[in-house]
């Protein structure tokens, strides 16, 4: 059974389908990582069109209050196991928008972030490093953010409630998992 789980973890690490939630300028550095120069598909990494098909959500850029709602909806629609990558300095500490009235400075108060990529913007090399790191973490079974989200659901939901002023309910009434 343990061997079988290892095999499954290996398969998960070699087939990462990502949902690129490109809120800001971060999208610019992903095409070079996708096309012939760096070619992320040789690791089985592909962009996907919908959250239902995705394994990892890339939040690439500043997070406003409005977009955060959509990010949470998208994240909760993804089938577990799922991972969050906080990409660029804006979702980590606010970046250049740190004192804006509309942006959220720290994404990891609201969603369980598995991996941070610092930089403004992180270049394609940093993206590839991020993907190989994420692959290693998944293969070893270390990236467990989706379990944290269930375990510490009260904490995350409380933070979301404080920010929005009301409970964020998943649209078809299903729980987050």
Partner 1 sequence: MNTATVVGTASMGAKFLGALVLTLKVLIYLFLMVMIGLFLMGIYRKFTARVQYRVGPPIWQPYIDVIKLLSKKDAATKNWVFDLGVIMGLGGPLALLLFLPLDTIVGLNFHTKGDLILILYLAVVGPLGFALAASVGASPWGAIGVGRALSMMLGYELPFILGLLAVVAKDGTLLLQKVSAAQSMWNPAGWHYFQWPLILAAIGAHIALQGVMSEKPFDQAIAPHEIASGIMVEFGGKYLGMMLLMKAASLMAELGLFAVFFLGGTTAWDTIVKIFALFIIAISFDAVLGRFRPDQAFTVLWKWPTIIALLGLLLTVFA
Site residues for partner 1 per CB under 8 A: 7-8, 11-12, 14-15, 35-36, 39, 41-44, 48-55, 77-81, 174, 177
Residue 157 φ then ψ, to 5°? -65, -35
Q: Closest CB to partner 1 among 42 and 101?
A: 42
Distance (Å, rounded) from C-alpha 63 to C-alpha 84? Answer: 14
Q: Closest CB to partner 1 among 140 and 162?
A: 140
Distance (Å, rounded) from C-alpha 139 to C-alpha 149? Answer: 20
Q: Closest CB to partner 1 among 29 and 55?
A: 55
Q: Are strands 46-47 and 17-21 parallel, antiparallel or unpaired?
A: parallel
Least Å distance between CB 41 and partner 1?
5
Least Å distance between CB 86 and partner 1?
23
Are 90 and 97 in contact by the 8 Å Cβ rule? The answer is: yes
Least Å distance between CB 59 and partner 1?
19
Q: Closest CB to partner 1 among 120 and 177?
A: 177
Tokens 């909760």 -> residue: 76
Least Å distance between CB 146 and partner 1?
8
User: What sections of the chain are H helices per DSSP?
Assistant: 2-13, 30-34, 65-77, 90-93, 124-139, 145-151, 153-164
Least Å distance between CB 154 and partner 1?
20
Q: Closest CB to partner 1 among 10 and 106?
A: 10
């Amino acid at each position: 059974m343990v061997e079988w789980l290892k095999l499954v973890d290996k398969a998960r690490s070699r087939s990462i389908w990502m949902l690129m939630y490109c809120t800001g300028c971060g999208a610019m550095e992903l095409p070079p990582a996708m096309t012939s120069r760096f070619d992320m598909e040789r690791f089985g990494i592909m962009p996907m069109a919908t959250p239902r098909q995705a394994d990892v959500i890339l939040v690439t850029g500043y997070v406003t209050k409005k977009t955060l709602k959509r990010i949470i909806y998208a994240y909760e629609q993804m089938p577990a196991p799922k991972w969050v990558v906080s990409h660029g300095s804006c979702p980590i500490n606010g970046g250049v928008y740190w004192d804006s009235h509309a942006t959220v400075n720290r994404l990891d108060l609201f969603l369980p972030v598995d991996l941070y990529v610092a930089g403004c913007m992180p270049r394609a090399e940093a993206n590839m490093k991020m993907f190989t790191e994420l692959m290693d973490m998944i293969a070893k079974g270390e990236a467990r953010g989706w379990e944290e989200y269930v375990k510490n659901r009260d904490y995350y939901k409380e933070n979301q409630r404080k920010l929005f002023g009301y409970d964020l309910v998943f649209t078809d009434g299903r729980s987050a998992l």
